[in-house]
Structure 1
């Protein structure tokens, strides 16, 4: 089967997910919920989708499969993933989000939620085993169009109410905020939220065609758009998200995107967190900040959530997590001073954007000045698309095979000082700079992350790292 679980959810080509595969996995998920006593027979599963061309058809197939399996689908329309998760938790329902997030438009995915939050890696294995056991079952693979009662308005209102309570009234008054709407399902909610706090909002770049926006590796074309709008409209910032609204993009007053892990750091300070769980790809400056304990994980929200749960089980309070893409997860409840935000252990793009803008407003700083005040190592990342999974697997095996292989491969960039193998290969070079090679968990892509003292040094290192990857032949 051409689909598989990646760092967050089931992913594959849209052509592979449309049809029997989505019916099969929805049936397997229904079995998982029922056999695990997570939802009773006849219980609810909330379903939402992004704006990809294939998403409505997949959602309809999924809802039909849920109905056949004895559950009640609730159609939440096109809302952000964190809004779906919040609503599912509120009504104690399972959840399915049809989205490929930031990956190319010819791909799609399915994210699964228990009533208490995202499924974990063990849950994934259970669902895969159930799907395998049902692969020859005609009923489980039957493709038909289903539907459910429409609760999009209720889910939207609940999520807006949570965000409206995050800051004091008029907390962003006087700020000029652009909202890059493109094709994200968060585009209209974002306008409402920032207008609610008194910002002058400029909706920008709305598209009826799906545009994949990767907030962890923002394209040069997107950066140019942001810079042009910022200059033309004298904006303080531009805010956006990926396709399903769980990863934030926040630019400064020059249109330069802020790193997602910096958004996470500022959010952790804003919320006065005690412990932060974050993947190995996040900036090494987090530990140097000293305001909280840092626990490093593999890449992917299930690993971050597992680390948060472990900390909570040990009695830790003030627990949150974030990824290098900026998606913020609350393991604990947090008091913002205006409200208590209940835990929401799934990626959210709204809270980090609000936390960063509120911090800038409170300190009287521009976004660029705020970013510079943290003095983190300069971190950049990018990816090579259409990098076959077989090729990336062969490269990683070659580098792990011997120290000599690693040394020869990295020689054009510098000598190897230390190597971390938590997720991919993160190499600290002799001069203290970092280069991290990691195959994508959900697409035929090879990612490269770097850290260096200055932007120019990081840019040079990133270019060199990508060139090494591109030139490598097995």
Structure 2
């Protein structure tokens, strides 16, 4: 049994159901059963406890019920007391380990985030947070040994933790605003993308007084018939923009499948995601904690860096990967440098005040608090980022490496590009590169920057290009293309098409 291919960083990811040709199910009963048993044994060693209590939840994927049943079967075979939370968000599953009245020893979330309907996976939590990459590798080693001793049968019972979790969010808004129904008179629509985020309407917004007429795709449907539940997806964002305008809403919210990410839209249809979302939550946190450090991934805009500095904060640009930015923020705090926020442009945002948990619903809760407060002053939420400088153009190219030794080949490309730009006065290399290479160019050479890095897991070199001038991205892309065309194992057709368009 080879389970190593199921590891995706700090998660387990694989194919959970048939439906796409050439993608056979590899999250089989045996694989899931062994991984669940391995988590039990790993957790017993970590906690020193034999009598464990573990929560198990899932998103709306069609393979979720089957996988949940297998996880519960494995854990009860090993004597665990299992608490089935049913349809849940990923952040809520972590919260089962730290919430009074529950305090489970660990939790498992069955999800593959925004991936296609046939995919699924497992996320594991303890009270210290999500497992790290090395922890998942240890689980896989245990699972592949498949040496688990069954004892006295454990128990499994359903619990409604999502109502408790939603109540925590609603109570936070009430405490911060001093009102029982602070959203009264506001129309807020939610697009859950048929994932797990529908609870936010019935259990958070409505009890706080909001009119949620026009909210859509709240029913869980693991085939995702309307659009991919992903705040970065253009079709998904067009759907929430349309819902806001059609219903005359003050605010629109969109969640990904398992609600660890979110995006938003104002009454005019202006999108709040990526750099704008980072700027807005940064502005709120810098009011609460002046001078704090904001950790972001590597593809944030130059304008965002200026915005954070102007607000009195410190911008710390780090690597892609939500665990990378979270762990870097935790490291800074441990070293004595206050960092209240770790956030990726993808929307994964984790706050120090919330266990450094990437939680889309909590992020929206912070925005709603500020929105309610500013409404009393006759101001809008978007006025917080009125002075955010945004690029005139931005483009991403994902260049496929057509070489079996893709990592070594990609590293060679980036190393040689680094030497090349250092020897050319047109280029200014960023002083704080933590992955790949980020280079700025002057007005005559495109008036912007590019970042070239190697994907964390795939044979891909992502290239991000941004410019403050119309036509600048094409100019920068042409300069970069002229260098990269020497590498015959690099698929540059997307760049070439863009330049020639």
Which stretch shows the higher mean deviation, 107-116 or 289-298?
A: 289-298
Deviations along 1:219-267, one digit per CA (max 9) or x if unpaired, are: 2x22332333233222232201110001011123343422234323322
Which stretch shows the higher mean deviation, 421-430 or 95-104?
A: 421-430
Contact (CA 8 Å) 1:87, 1:155: kept in 2 or not? no
Aligned with 2:251 (options 233, 237, 244): 237
Change (3 A) 1:42 1:371: same
Write the mapping of 1:105-124 to structure 2, written as runs, cut at 5 A.
Answer: 105-120=117-132, 124=133
Partner of 2:332: 311
Change (3 A) 1:298 1:22: farther
Partner of 2:172: 165
Partner of 2:42: 32
Aligned with 2:60 (options 42, 45, 51): 51
Partner of 1:181: 192
Structure 2 residue runs without a partner (length 5+): 17-24, 482-490, 497-501
Which stretch shows the higher mean deviation, 422-431 or 197-206?
A: 422-431
Write the mapping of 1:218-233 to structure 2, written as runs, cut at 5 A.
Answer: 218-219=233-234, 221-233=235-247
Work out whether 1:214 is the aligned partner of 2:238: no
* In 1: Cα distance, 2:405 partner to 2:236 partner: 28
Deviations along 1:279-325, one digit per CA (max 9) or x if unpaired, are: 22333444422232333332223223322322332345562322212
Partner of 1:279: 297
Partner of 1:452: 467
Give the deviation of 1:360 after TM superposition: 4.5
Partner of 1:10: 12
* In 2: Cα distance, 1:139 partner to 1:242 partner: 36
TM-score (norm 1): 0.80
Change (3 A) 1:223 1:301: closer
Work out whether 1:293 is the aligned partner of 2:314: yes
Contact (CA 8 Å) 2:414, 2:453: kept in 1 or not? no
Change (3 A) 1:347 1:469: farther
Change (3 A) 1:213 1:371: farther
Aligned with 1:348 (options 359, 365, 368): 359
* In 1: Cα distance, 2:457 partner to 2:6 partner: 8
* In 2: Cα distance, 1:383 partner to 1:212 partner: 21
Structure with the greater relative contact order (CA < 8 A, sep ≥ 6): 1 or 2?
1
- SS of aligned partner of 2:271: coil
Two-structure CA RMSD over aligned residues (Å):
3.8
Aligned with 1:95 (options 87, 107, 112): 107
* In 2: Cα distance, 1:346 partner to 1:222 partner: 24
* In 2: Cα distance, 1:454 partner to 1:179 partner: 35
Aligned with 2:494 (options 457, 460, 470): 470
Aligned with 2:116 (options 101, 104, 111): 104
Corresponding pairs, count: 446
Structure 1 residue runs without a partner (length 5+): 334-342
